[in-house]
Amino acid sequence: MKVEQINSVQEWLPFAEILDKGIIKMKDSSYIKILNINPINYILKSSLEKEAILNSYKNLFKSCDFNFQIMIQSQKEDLKNHINKLNENNLYPEIKEKYINYINYFVKNKKSSNKKFYLILKSPLSEENESVKIQNLENNYLKIKDLFGRCGNIVSEYTEEKQIIDVLYSFFNSNK
């Protein structure tokens, strides 16, 4: 009888370790940094603002001489707490009831969701030493932050190990 060896999950994950400043060392000796992008409400902008934003995005993509990946993660919105808070308020009961019915209809039929936007920077595989790769990654982060800022987005970095683990966990468990 042949016994199969069961490998641990860590063996197939591409991450080696989480370093300072939120940089993740990969098993292939490259490095990544995960950023959070706060979106703008493009629909509410005027025509002139929309044109300026689109031109800013065009300049962003022309200005980046490095690779990055944008990841959008949708999560079903849980509005139970919002509805509970509304129910605690006794003002305008008939308006409140219609609003709660609208929220329930929207959640049921429109499948309301919350979207999170991430940007993943990766250092290329090269013969450069670790400190050069990390410095290049930090420089790319500052450039991305500036360019997205010109588009109206706020870009923030994850620097705490717990934050990074939570984000990575959400990537691998996105169906929950």
Distances (CA, A) of 5 to 2, 8, 9, 12, 148: 10, 10, 13, 14, 47
Is the model's pLDDT at 1 over the cut of 70? no
User: At residue 16, what is the residue type?
Assistant: A
Least confident of 23-27, 111-115, 124-128, 160-164: 111-115
**Per-residue pLDDT for 96 more than 90?**
no
| pTM score, whole prediction | 0.74
**What domains are defined for the chain?**
9-76+114-172 (3.30.70), 78-111 (no CATH)
Which of the pair, 82 or 142, is modelled with greater confidence? 142
- Single-letter code of the amino acid located at 140: N
Tell me: pLDDT of 20 over 90. no
Token pair 């022309």 in the structure block, residue: 62
Average pLDDT on 76-100 reads: 81
Cα–Cα distance, 12 to 28 (Å, whole number): 12
Residue 122 is predicted with a pLDDT of 92
**Cα separation, 57 vs 105, whole angstroms:** 36
Decide: helix, strand or coil at residue 34: strand
Residue-wise pLDDT for 110-123, tens only, equals 666 778 999 999 98
pLDDT-wise least confident of 34-48, 102-116, 146-160: 102-116
How confident is the model at residue 98, as a pLDDT?
Answer: 87
